[in-house]
Structure 1
Amino acid sequence: MKRQAGFSLIELMITIALIGLLAMLAGPFTISWSNSAQVRDAEGVLSQGIARAKAHALRNRYGVIDAQPVAALCLDPNRRLSLHEAASADSPASCSSAQIWSAQLPAQVSVQTAGATFSCLAFDSKAMVLASGGCSTNQSFALAAGSEHVTFTLN
């Protein structure tokens, strides 16, 4: 009599149970890893936006003087970070002025400054943070997604 090759029903069920158990254990680690990656991505995008805003403010192509914003870095409700420039020497930068750069932040990441949701930063011709049009002057940011949190401060 020839013995049949293959797996028994018990062997298959044990294998499926082990795979299910491993998948259940890997779920929280995967979520934590994803949140951490999104926070790091948001930190990079925000740092890039701040660096671009400072560089643009120092360039000051329209010759804006005094304590008027040359560049404004804004975050809209759709999580889009955008850099805006002054339209002329008499028209300072704001979130409604001409956009010169933008990048999308991950949807799950919240950006806070001084305990409030971040909306904008304005920079003068010396690349210093300026209070203008409801923009924050706080230079410390808290990024969070799930249980992942990062705090960084402008240089």
Structure 2
Amino acid sequence: MSRRATGFSLIELMVTLAVMAVLALAGMPFTLQWIDSNRQMQARNLLWEAVSQTRSLALRNPEHVTGTAVSARLQHSGRSLQVLRGAGNEVLWQGELPRGGEYRLTGADDYADADELQASGDLMSCVAFDNRGQRLPGAASCSSAATHSRIAIGMNSQDPLYVDLL
């Protein structure tokens, strides 16, 4: 009696690898969308925290400003977010946004899709708050329109998410 060695042939292994490669390639777009969605949620949460920190600092009013003077401001540059005291440069909180995001100041109307968000020109750079926690649209250190009440967050082809400035 001869015993034959059992196992997989080279052809069986190659077919299995080919099927796995096709399945991996088919799942790649879904994986990329999931990653973009995750980054967009991280950015929204970080912006929400930054706005909350800025308003909280403005309400504490450590500079004892009055009237319509800037009590606290939120600055965005590149991927960096910073909460600054008054009109000065002292950083009291900072965070780093995920790569590939679009951050725009917007009003109450939603953007239809990611393309409309990317086509708009209102990049978020700075938002100032007074000692009552109210946004100062015409502040000298942060000039944003009075109609801007939210930050729109876009990530590649994802529909925008929003953070209210209140």
Scaled by the length of structure 2, the TM-score of the pair is: 0.83
Q: Secondary structure at the match of 1:110?
A: strand
**In the alignment, residue 153 of structure 2 is paired with which amino acid?**
L
2:152 is matched with which residue? 142
Pairing partner for 2:92 from 92, 100, 124: 100
Q: What amino acid sits opposite 1:73 in the alignment?
A: L
Tell me, in whole angstroms, the C-alpha distance in 1 between the residues paired with 2:126 and 2:63.
Answer: 21
1:58-77 equivalences in 2 (<5 Å):
58-77=59-78
TM-score, reference length from structure 1: 0.88
Per the alignment, residue 80 of structure 2 pairs with 80
CA-based RMSD? 1.3
Matched residue, 1:110: 102
The change in CA–CA distance for 1:59 and 1:134 in structure 2 (over 3 A counts) is closer
Q: Is the 8 A contact 2:44 2:161 kept in 1?
A: no
Q: Are 1:140 and 1:151, in contact at CA under 8 Å, matched by a contact in 2?
A: no
SS state at 1:128 partner: coil
Q: CA deviation at 1:103?
A: 0.3
Structure 2 unaligned spans of 5+: 107-119
Unaligned runs of 5+ in 1: 87-92
- How many residues are aligned here? 146
User: Which amino acid in 2 is paired with 1:30?
Assistant: T
Q: Name which of 126, 129, 153 aligns with 1:120.
A: 126
CA deviation after TM superposition for structure 1 residue 62, in Å: 1.9
1:154 is aligned to 2:159: no
Runs of 4+ in 1 over 4 A off after TM superposition: none
User: What does residue 89 of structure 1 align with?
Assistant: none
1:13-68 C-alpha deviation (Å, 9 max, x unpaired)? 11001110111011101100000000000000000000011111010012101111
Partners of 1:119 and 1:19 in 2: CA distance: 46
| C-alpha displacement of 1:110 | 1.2
SS in 2 for 1:106: coil
Could you tell me how far apart the structure 1 residues matched to 2:102 and 2:17 are?
A: 39
Please tell me whether the aligned partners of residues 64 and 125 of structure 1 are also in contact (alpha carbons under 8 angstroms): yes
3-state SS of 1:17 partner: helix
CA–CA distance in structure 2, aligned partners of residues 69 and 53 of structure 1: 11
